[in-house]
Structure 1
Amino acid sequence: MRALSYFFVIFAIFLAPLGVAVARHLADDTQATDWRTARRDSTGIAPLPAQTPEAVIHVYAARAFRWRGAFGVHTWIAAKPQGADAYTRFEVVGWGVSQGRNAVRVGEGVPDGYWYGNAPTLIRALRGGDEVDALIERLRAAATAYPHQHEYRVWPGPNSNTFIAYLGRAVPELHLDLPPTAIGKDYLPDTGVFARAPSGGGFQVSLAGLLGVTLAAEEGLEINLLGLSLGLDLSPPALKLPGVGRIGMSEE
């Protein structure tokens, strides 16, 4: 009985912040309801290629479309080699996969666009020369090697966040700390159980993205339960809450 009581307490700790997130989402009357008219234009975060000769890698997260946004975010990477006149987006999208389309989409696009009405947050930025160009080439190679090219599941994965976490492990120089609302980041490809954390450091143990733990310098300590992440970050100090996200000092 005591073990069962502990389970319900832990479950409640996960559900309480999630309830807050759902309430906020339902109260937000600015949410787009029609994907055909929802904003996808630039938010002006990414530097213009014509004014930026150096290489750029940006990682973005934006609340998912419609009801999914109450629970989590969609993440993607935008990259521009030195001298390039456009950005390439690296992301996974579920639409069309059931009709045979590849889930991995790599191609020119708006780097910092609204995700169907939801403004993105920049969660990692790198700028430089040949060394950043080399990272972009490694991102391309990793995207090609991603083992779930034709698979997409909103929960528990593989989804868009599974893909970006995979790229983070493949290119640890990104030091990619995905938000706790990136549901699917803890789903390890090829039904893996042990892996490096998405930041490329520390370690992660996960059972199909449904139960696991992550311990790393970037992520801090995170516990995963049914795809939801609860954690404590020490550098800088912050709580990581399901649905709500990161609460504490800024990482900038």
Structure 2
Amino acid sequence: MRILRFLLLFILAIFVLPAAASLIHWELADRPASWRDADWGRSGLLPPAESQADAAIYVLAARTGGLKGALSVHSWLVTKDAGARHYDRYDKVGWGQPVRKNAYPADGRWYSNDPFIVTELHGAAAERQLAKVEAAVQSYPFNHVGDYRIWPGPNSNSFSAHILEEVPELRTALPSNAVGRDYRPGFFAIDVSEDRRDLHVTLGGLFGFAAGLRYGIELQFLGLVAGFDFADPAVKIPGWGRYSLPLS
């Protein structure tokens, strides 16, 4: 009983209370009433494609809409060939054909929320990975009508996580509040990254842990993530995401 009580208190303190605080904070903020009222236009985060000759690869994310925005971001992929005058954007969505190409502006707001850059490559480094990124998009296994589940996945973040796993040269993991990034099919999965820098263990994307250079140390509970990043010191708080720690 003592162990069970400790476990319940641990879950309450580490996962439930931070997530509840994020929900309250989100509800008090001014948000669009529906997707029709939201701003989906360019945010200006990325430079115009025609202004840069080099190839580029970006993974972007922004808080999603409705109540789920209190706990999660939506993520997507943006690519540009060398010399191209336009970006290509890939998202997974919850209606129709799941993976969409150029359905929104490359750096468009998501439900009025400004995006941020998760990772980026430019120039020769990006050019070397473009074919591999395209192959990862094509190999994504959940790209049929009905292959979307908001929780625990496969959702938009499951798609972006697949890209990052297939292309470790992008050198990052999705933000800790990208709910669905830890989804794996089946009851149990254990993965070691291609470059052997990260270990990921999950029970259906609901419970698990991760450790390594990209993930730091993470505990996962019902899609919520708590942890610590050692490479770039930060704490990961369920619902809130990553908060950098001052180095001095």
Q: Match of 1:78?
A: 78
1:117 paired residue among 98, 112, 116 = 112
**Residues 192 and 3 of structure 1, relative CA distance in 2, 3 Å threshold:** closer
| Distance in structure 2 (CA, Å) of the matches to 1:153 and 1:20 | 25
The alignment status of 1:184 with 2:180, answered yes or no, reads yes
- After superposition, the CA RMSD in angstroms is 1.9
Q: Match of 1:247?
A: 243
- Secondary structure, counterpart of 1:114 in structure 2: coil
Task: List per-residue Cα deviations over 1:26-76 (Å, max 9, x = no partner).
Answer: 1101x1112123111111111211110001111111111111101101001
What is the one-letter code of the residue matched to 2:115? P
The alignment status of 1:220 with 2:216, answered yes or no, reads yes
- 4+ long deviations beyond 4 Å: 189-192, 197-200
Normalising to structure 2: TM-score of the pair? 0.92
| Distance in structure 2 (CA, Å) of the matches to 1:161 and 1:22 | 20
Instruction: Work out the number of aligned pairs and report it.
Output: 243
| Distance in structure 2 (CA, Å) of the matches to 1:124 and 1:197 | 17
**Residues 201 and 189 of structure 1, relative CA distance in 2, 3 Å threshold:** farther
What is the one-letter code of the residue matched to 1:17? P
What is the one-letter code of the residue matched to 2:154? P
Task: List per-residue Cα deviations over 1:160-199 (Å, max 9, x = no partner).
Answer: 1111111101000001221111001111246660113599
Question: Conserved in 1, the CA contact under 8 Å of 2:235 and 2:245?
Answer: no
The alignment status of 1:8 with 2:8, answered yes or no, reads yes
Question: Conserved in 2, the CA contact under 8 Å of 1:232 and 1:239?
Answer: yes
1:158 paired residue among 132, 154, 160 = 154
Q: Equivalent pairs: percent with the same residue?
A: 36
Q: Match of 2:140?
A: 146
| Distance in structure 2 (CA, Å) of the matches to 1:61 and 1:35 | 17
Question: Conserved in 2, the CA contact under 8 Å of 1:157 and 1:184?
Answer: yes
**Residues 23 and 197 of structure 1, relative CA distance in 2, 3 Å threshold:** farther
Gaps of 5+ in 2: none
What is the one-letter code of the residue matched to 1:207? L
| Distance in structure 2 (CA, Å) of the matches to 1:57 and 1:208 | 29
